[in-house]
Structure 1
Amino acid sequence: MMGAPADLRNASNGLGKSLASDAPNRPVAIPPMPDYSGRILAYAASAATITAGVWQGVFQQWNIWLVAAALIWPHIAHMLTRRTFLRNSPRIRQKMLTTDCIIGGGFIGCIGLVAIPSSMVALMLTFTSLIIGGVRQWLIGCGFMAVSILAFYSIFGPAESYQSPLLTSMLSILFTSVFICVTAFYSHQQARALMLAKTQIQNQREQSIALSHKLSKYLSPQVWQSIFTGERDVRLETQRKKLAVFFSDIKGFTELSEEMEPEALTELLNHYFNGMSEVALKYGGTIDKFVGDSIMVFFGDPTSRGQREDAFACVSMAIDMRKHMKIMRQKWRSQGIKSPLEIRMGISTGYTTVGNFGAENRMDYTIIGKEVNLASRLESLAEPGEILVSYETFSLIKDRIMCRDKGEITVKGFGKPVPIYEVVDFRRDMGPNHSFMEHEHSGFAMYLDSEKITDKERQSILTALEGAAERLRHEEDSVRE
């Protein structure tokens, strides 16, 4: 009198195709039992119960006509749900199951509530309602079935005896058990198919995450994050934004490349880029590209903290890079690289065009505009270890960073000479309380940033410095003697 559970049939079938294509040796799970087959089995069980009951005299003779109705109705229901306007109903399965509950309740009322056959029919109906539609469908089915039972019971009255003969009871229990077992079997196979599909989806998800992390290395983390969270579409589009643009390169790198082997030069350059990238990401910069020994970074897109904060973060990054370069230079010197590599930097702030440039099948997320050209020009004019900024950048950071006037320059694309400034240091680090110290000589290099030293590290550093000082004094005394 009802269809077997198959709510997720389409999903599992689709996933099954995917699983079959991805893993051809994987066992194919049995699909859930169709409504048509389940309804035929349920009504056949009811027909067998009616036949036995009429033959043993527990049901009235006219009930034999219900056998024909029980055998025909599944085919009528199948035709209604497949070949009429009902096939377009989004909840047709629940509606047909409700109809089955009304029919089953009518049958129970017609036989006068004979105990075992009535209980078996009610069991099949409630079992299927719970599997197909959950508690809600179970409550609806029970409600309609109860109303139907009362209506037909009031018409045909009670049976002569609520007890049924052994044969009728056994057939009713047997066929109901077969229906429940077959339905449960298909439900179990469906659950296995869904578990296999879930495992496959989890594996594909893990593979997709691993692949996305690999691809993220070709994009700035901010751009990658905006794409994979759906905030930004991957299409050719641009917009105008006010950004802080940064350029840097290594003074002396060309000469060094002529002296070093390509493998050693590649290792040095990758070490440099890795360190500088960490500094850029620390301050929230969007790394645009690496060109030779040059780095291009911008602030203010995809996310912005405001023009003033973006400019301050950009200059702060440049100061930190300059300090970090000193540490790298010490490490390179210990590896035998004696060339005095220095970083030079240029920063400009202004409106640029930012977005995806290129072709539909190959695009780059970058920026263009005269402010980009100005930042590149400032970088090329900077002395080793120097940071040059434009006037607009200076106006945004001057209250927190000390700068020195460097005059004016002429830049293509600008109608008037452009004032430029040299970044000295954070104002908080100026004077006697500055946290940063450095000292370099042949055979000696010291870099000290007291703000980054923990209490535990401080004692170790003091011990090392005292030991170095004692050794230098001892050597000096030996020379005097």
Structure 2
Amino acid sequence: MNAPLASGKSLLLETQSKPVVIPPMPDYNGRVLAYVGAAAVIFTGLLSHTFADWLIWLVPGALLWPHAVHFLTRQTFLRRYSRVRHKMLHVDCALGGAFAGTIGLVATPSLSIMMMLMFSCMLLGGLRQWLFGIFWFALAAVAGLAMNGMAVSLQAPLVLSVVAILATATFICITAFYAHQQARALMSAKTQIQYQREQSIALSHKLSKYLSPQVWQSIFTGERDVRLETQRKKLSIFFSDIKGFTELSEEMEPEALTELLNHYFNEMSQVALKYGGTIDKFVGDSIMIFFGDPTSRGPREDALACVSMAIDMRKHMKIMRQKWRSQGIKTPLEIRMGISAGYATVGNFGAENRMDYTIIGKEVNLASRLESLADPGEILVSYETFSLIKDKIMCRDKGEITVKGFGRPVPIYEVIDFRRDLGAERSFMEHEKAGFAMYLDSEKVRGYERAAILQALEDAAERLRQGED
């Protein structure tokens, strides 16, 4: 006698709001349903004199067995075994095979019991469980046949066939209904998870605007923990501000000034990110950027990237200044910059509920001091920065300065340009007079734009010649 385990796997999906539990048909309910159907088949077989009378004891056994299994798997030491459900289904398959063999493999009842068992095996454990079920069923059926022999006729009476088919159909339909409900709950949970995932992505992108992209990426990829911790690292530190901004703020309306400042910050941020800089903060018209954390290419490459960024910013500022002049802003705006390389403390500072990712140290103070000493359009660097970049960047000695926190005067240098861009082979050219401004970076000119640029220069030259006449 047998009773299959009518149960699939339980699924637990975590969402942001609460866990979504997708329950299968309970083991206990499924087993009761199957064994009640088996008891009905046995009782009908006894009434039709298809089965031997001594099998009457299997009817109460079939009705009591599910309760015994429930007690064993929930109240005894067996509950500690993770695969007890699979093992009990093996027992069910063996009981079903023994029953089929005992009744001499009468076709309809044997197939009915086998179908319920195999359906349960496939639901619970897939192909592996199904193969084990076939093995135990066949083994027990052979043992039953050895004891009682084959039935005289494998054909079952009509009433027994109808009851067996109804019992199997009822079991499969109810179990399939639970599986359908489980699939619907799974699809609903997947939709909910997808919606919350999209919300999380959108929210993370909004929050990323308040952090440097490198910091945001290291947090969301799990490389960095959000906790109060710092470390000492060798960094290249950059400060800049706009010379003439104070005078401009007195001339312009706050709304127009805000738009100009945001445009300036946006353009400079794009340059900083192009070179891999970590944007620390904006203060007034000042920008603080550093290289070397959370990612670093080595002190030399970090310093070179930092100075390259500063040179690019200086060139870009000239282009923006011309654009602002065309918009009616006559106050000449110049950027001044200071760069220092050395060890600083970097990490999360503040409180547990409000942190700021930044850097502190005397090198930070030195970079700020260099920026304040720089003339409009000038880039000043410390000696250590100069020593790291001097093979690729031309610098001019500017003497020494005294800085708080340093025991002796600090040598400083003015950045001229890339060595490759000096002389006749330079890629960047500029010329600015009243009524005329030209900025040419030949490396950035696209091929299809050259003809238009040459035509504009020829038109300008022709107009200048006409003015001379």
Q: Shorter-chain TM-score: which interval?
A: over 0.9
Q: Which amino acid aligns with 1:351?
A: Y
CA distance in 1, matches of 2:251, 2:15: 59
CA distance in 1, matches of 2:78, 2:366: 70
The 3 A distance-change label for structure 1 pair 95 and 277 is same
Measured after TM superposition, the shift of residue 57 of structure 1 is 1.2
Measured after TM superposition, the shift of residue 18 of structure 1 is 3.8
2:187 equivalent to 1:213: no
Contact 2:10 / 2:22 at 8 angstroms: preserved in 1?
A: no
Cα deviation 1:41-71 (Å, max 9, x = unaligned): 1111111111111111111111111111111
CA distance in 1, matches of 2:47, 2:19: 52
Structure-2 residue corresponding to 1:446: 438
The 3 A distance-change label for structure 1 pair 74 and 136 is same
Partner residue of 1:471 out of 440, 457, 463: 463
Structure-2 residue corresponding to 1:160: 152
CA distance in 2, matches of 1:218, 1:417: 38
Structure-1 residue corresponding to 2:240: 248
Measured after TM superposition, the shift of residue 183 of structure 1 is 0.8
The secondary structure found in structure 1 opposite 2:358 is strand
CA distance in 1, matches of 2:195, 2:434: 56
Structure-2 residue corresponding to 1:406: 398
CA distance in 2, matches of 1:395, 1:15: 54
CA distance in 1, matches of 2:7, 2:271: 58
Measured after TM superposition, the shift of residue 3 of structure 1 is 2.9
The secondary structure found in structure 1 opposite 2:413 is strand
The 3 A distance-change label for structure 1 pair 15 and 7 is farther
CA distance in 2, matches of 1:57, 1:102: 25
The secondary structure found in structure 2 opposite 1:344 is strand
Q: Which amino acid aligns with 1:7?
A: K
Contact 1:404 / 1:424 at 8 angstroms: preserved in 2?
A: yes
Structure-1 residue corresponding to 2:377: 385
Q: Which amino acid aligns with 1:228?
A: F
Structure-1 residue corresponding to 2:54: 62
Structure-1 residue corresponding to 2:10: 8
Measured after TM superposition, the shift of residue 397 of structure 1 is 0.4
CA distance in 2, matches of 1:30, 1:160: 48
The secondary structure found in structure 2 opposite 1:112 is coil
2:100 equivalent to 1:98: no
Measured after TM superposition, the shift of residue 258 of structure 1 is 1.4
Structure-1 residue corresponding to 2:336: 344
Q: Which amino acid aligns with 1:132?
A: L
Contact 2:431 / 2:438 at 8 angstroms: preserved in 1?
A: yes
Measured after TM superposition, the shift of residue 122 of structure 1 is 0.8
Unaligned runs of 5+ in 1: 21-28
What are the equivalent positions in structure 2 for 1:145-184 lying under 5 Å apart?
Answer: 145-184=137-176
Partner residue of 2:451 out of 435, 452, 459: 459
CA distance in 1, matches of 2:254, 2:112: 84
Contact 2:15 / 2:196 at 8 angstroms: preserved in 1?
A: no
**Range with bigger deviation, 153-162 or 64-73:** 153-162
2:273 equivalent to 1:271: no
CA distance in 2, matches of 1:152, 1:447: 98
The secondary structure found in structure 1 opposite 2:411 is strand
Cα deviation 1:377-399 (Å, max 9, x = unaligned): 00000000000000110000000
Contact 2:5 / 2:117 at 8 angstroms: preserved in 1?
A: no
The secondary structure found in structure 2 opposite 1:4 is coil
CA distance in 1, matches of 2:236, 2:17: 51
Give the fraction of aligned pairs with identical amino acids, expressed as a percent.
Answer: 73
CA distance in 2, matches of 1:15, 1:273: 38
Cα deviation 1:434-480 (Å, max 9, x = unaligned): 00011112222111100001110111111111111112222322xxx
Contact 1:106 / 1:149 at 8 angstroms: preserved in 2?
A: yes
CA distance in 1, matches of 2:246, 2:285: 9
The secondary structure found in structure 2 opposite 1:57 is coil
The secondary structure found in structure 2 opposite 1:236 is coil
2:324 equivalent to 1:332: yes
The 3 A distance-change label for structure 1 pair 299 and 17 is closer
Cα deviation 1:261-307 (Å, max 9, x = unaligned): 11111100000000000000000000001011100101011111111
The secondary structure found in structure 1 opposite 2:355 is strand
Partner residue of 2:419 out of 410, 413, 427: 427
Contact 2:38 / 2:113 at 8 angstroms: preserved in 1?
A: yes
Cα deviation 1:350-371 (Å, max 9, x = unaligned): 0011100000000011111110
Structure-2 residue corresponding to 1:71: 63
**Range with bigger deviation, 75-84 or 195-204:** 75-84
Partner residue of 2:190 out of 191, 195, 198: 198
2:357 equivalent to 1:365: yes
Q: Which amino acid aligns with 1:104?
A: G
2:107 equivalent to 1:111: no
* Alignment TM-score, normalising by the size of structure 1: 0.95
Structure-2 residue corresponding to 1:185: 177
2:307 equivalent to 1:311: no
Q: Which amino acid aligns with 1:216?
A: S
Contact 2:421 / 2:427 at 8 angstroms: preserved in 1?
A: yes
Contact 2:5 / 2:92 at 8 angstroms: preserved in 1?
A: no
Structure-2 residue corresponding to 1:395: 387
Measured after TM superposition, the shift of residue 17 of structure 1 is 8.1
Structure-2 residue corresponding to 1:354: 346
The 3 A distance-change label for structure 1 pair 450 and 412 is same
CA distance in 2, matches of 1:474, 1:62: 125
CA RMSD of aligned residues (A): 1.6
Contact 1:3 / 1:34 at 8 angstroms: preserved in 2?
A: no
Q: How many residues align?
A: 467
Measured after TM superposition, the shift of residue 340 of structure 1 is 0.6
Measured after TM superposition, the shift of residue 19 of structure 1 is 8.5
Measured after TM superposition, the shift of residue 88 of structure 1 is 2.5
Partner residue of 1:133 out of 113, 125, 132: 125
Partner residue of 2:273 out of 281, 299, 306: 281
The secondary structure found in structure 2 opposite 1:246 is strand
The secondary structure found in structure 2 opposite 1:239 is strand
Measured after TM superposition, the shift of residue 240 of structure 1 is 0.6
Cα deviation 1:100-155 (Å, max 9, x = unaligned): 11211121122111111111111111111111111111112211222221222212
